[in-house]
Structure formats: structure tokens, C-alpha cells
Amino acid sequence: METAITLGEFIVKNQAAHPEATGALTSLFSSIRVAAKVLHREINRAGLGDVLGAADGVNVQGEVQQKLDVIANRKFIQALAARGVTCGIASEEEDSHITLDENRDAHYVVLLDPLDGSSNIDVNVSVGSIFSVYRRRSPPGSPVTPEDFLQPGREQVAAGYVIYGSSTMLVYTTGQGVNGFTYDPTLGMFFLSHPDMRMPEEGAIYSVNEGYARRFPPGVNRFLDWCREEDEASGRPYSARYIGSLVSDFHRNLIKGGIYLYPPTKTHPEGKLRLLYECNPIAFLAEQAGGRAVAGPGQRILDIEPGKLHQRTPFYVGSRRTVERLERFLAEG
């Protein structure tokens, strides 16, 4: 692995292929890389420090914040603010967007879920950080505006996640495919381990919280029944795999093929997951790897015009043909 290309080298090499590039995105990535390393350390020794469990706060969405949510949020914001290329940040853990006034000449805004699936940490299950990068709409030199953040996902310049699993990996796209880098903690470096990741066109895994099945729309349940049917020719029944940590569930399905579903339910009629910093970045990665992501039949996630920062959406993402099959079930009503 030591002879493999590092994340830093990979980014610089890609930048060299774009002579018009200013290096700003390269700097932005080094902020994310630093935050990822710090969080790798915090998460791996979580049981030893006083960082497990709930913090005192509740976020704007009424969810109890875990201590590590708060730490992760702070680390990402510090790292992004330190290099002058990000002018504003929106985060799951912040009520509204943050203006980095000292960086008002910068071009990029970043949307974050600093620690997704954080309630899993106390039981040593994989969690992740998700990020999404846009070019601001307002002119540089002025403070950022809400419209800089409320852009459809197809406008993303870059997106990715860090998965803190049996190893820590950073997976990202800038719209030219998806590449994955594995962290070597002994060297403190990420190495390219998963070049040009492609999602199998069809997958035999479905990931959904089946405990809520009675609250799902009928089309979802008919699709799940189909997944469970006995049919040797199509490799059914499919396997159910649900970690309850979006990054981990998506990462597995990206590699092995499959579908992740978070349908609308009675308690979350608009779905649970947040469009801007959970679904859009994952959808961008999925499409770049040959997969598909929709909110309903024919409703491409990346084409949704967002109305508010913490907007939720139903979310179906995974292998292209498997998602298309689900869409046919949903379209039947």
C-alpha cells in the first residue's frame, strides 16, 4: 500500500488536468482530509474518553445531539474555516447557515452531516461524515445568502463521505467518477484503494428499517414482498442488510450492489433523511458510480429544487435497475 498513490497526489494530479483550476477545491479537500483524520482518532478511542452518549443540546430538528455530533461539527467547521476557500457552511447540527466572514472572497459553500448515524457509536457500529460542495450563487466579496445553499443537487461541484468502519475510508466524486481512499493510521495518510468505483447494475441486497413496514406506502411493501419471493433465476430471495447508518449501508451497496430505502412513514410523512446534506451527496456519488437515486417514481433526487435547509425527502438509492424496479412498483400506487 505504501507505494500506492495518496489522496493528496491524486487530487493534485486531477487538478493538473484542469489548467483553469485555481487550487481552491484542492485546499477544500485538504480541510476535509484533516477533519476526517481528527475524527478517526476521536471515534476510534471513543470508549476511552468522555465522548460517548448524549450532549446537553437538541438540534433544530428536535434530535438529541450526541457528544460526538458536537465535536465532529466543530472539527469540520474549524478545518474548513482555516483555509480561505469556503465562504459558508450549513450543517445538520446548526439551525441556519454559518457565514465565514473572513473568507467572503471565496467561491465555495459546504453542506455537512458531520457525523451521520451517531447514535450507533455507543455500540461500536460504523458511522460516517457526509459533505456536499457548491459554487456560491451570490458574488464573492459579499456575505453568503440562503440561496447559495438552496441549490438543486445537480449543481454540486463535489461530494463524498468518510466512513469510520473496520477501516476509515474517504470516498468522493467531483463529477468524474467515484474514487475511494483508505486511511493508514500508522502513516496518517489516505491511499487510493478503490479506484473508479462502479455500482453493480442490479443488486441482491435491500436495506430498510422493516420495523416500520406497516407505515410504508403500499408500493414499497409490494417491492419488498417481491425481494423476498423465491425465484432461483433472479437470485431471490434477496438478503436484508440494515445497519441504520446511511453511509455504511450505502457503502456496502455501492460495492456489492443493492438498494437502500427510507420511505415516507406516518411519523415522517416527508421521509426522515435530509435532502441537502444526506441525500444529495449520496445521490451524486450513486449516479457517478452508475447507480440511481429517486424520491419517488421518476423523481430524480438531484433535480429537486430545495425550499429550506433542513428539508426532508423520501430516499431510494442504489443499483440502477433495482431502483428502476422499485419505481415501477411505486408508480402502480
Smallest gap from Cβ 118 to Mg ion, in A, equals 8
209 binds, among ligand AHM, Mg ion, none (CB under 5 to 8 A by kind): ligand AHM
Smallest gap from Cβ 283 to ligand AHM, in A, equals 14
Q: Give whichever of 182 and 245 is closer to ligand AHM, judged by the CB atom.
A: 245
Provide the β-strand partners of residue 90: 111
User: Could you tell me the three cell numbers for 104?
Assistant: 467572503
Smallest gap from Cβ 245 to ligand AHM, in A, equals 5
Smallest gap from Cβ 301 to ligand AHM, in A, equals 15
Q: Give whichever of 113 and 287 is closer to Mg ion, judged by the CB atom.
A: 113
For 69, 132, 173, the CA distances from 198, given in Å and listed in that order, are 30, 20, 12
For 20, 88, 134, 138, 323, the CA distances from 158, given in Å and listed in that order, are 17, 15, 7, 19, 23
Smallest gap from Cβ 130 to Mg ion, in A, equals 7
Q: Give whichever of 93 and 148 is closer to ligand AHM, judged by the CB atom.
A: 93
Provide the β-strand partners of residue 120: none
Q: Give whichever of 66 and 179 is closer to ligand AHM, judged by the CB atom.
A: 66
Which residues sit at the interface with Mg ion, rule CB under 5 A?
113, 116
244 binds, among Mg ion, ligand AHM, none (CB under 5 to 8 A by kind): ligand AHM
To which residue does cell 477501516 refer? 167
- Side by side, the strands of the sheet bearing 108-116 are 98-99, 86-91, 108-116, 127-135, 158-164, 168-173, 178-184, 189-194
31 binds, among Mg ion, ligand AHM, none (CB under 5 to 8 A by kind): none
Residues 6+ apart with CB under 8 A from 262: 208, 209, 246, 271, 272, 273, 314, 315, 316
Q: Give whichever of 36 and 189 is closer to ligand AHM, judged by the CB atom.
A: 36
Question: 75 in helix, strand or coil?
Answer: helix
148 binds, among ligand AHM, Mg ion, none (CB under 5 to 8 A by kind): none
Which residues sit at the interface with ligand AHM, rule CB under 6 A?
63, 92, 113, 116-118, 209, 244-246, 249, 272
To which residue does cell 467561491 refer? 107
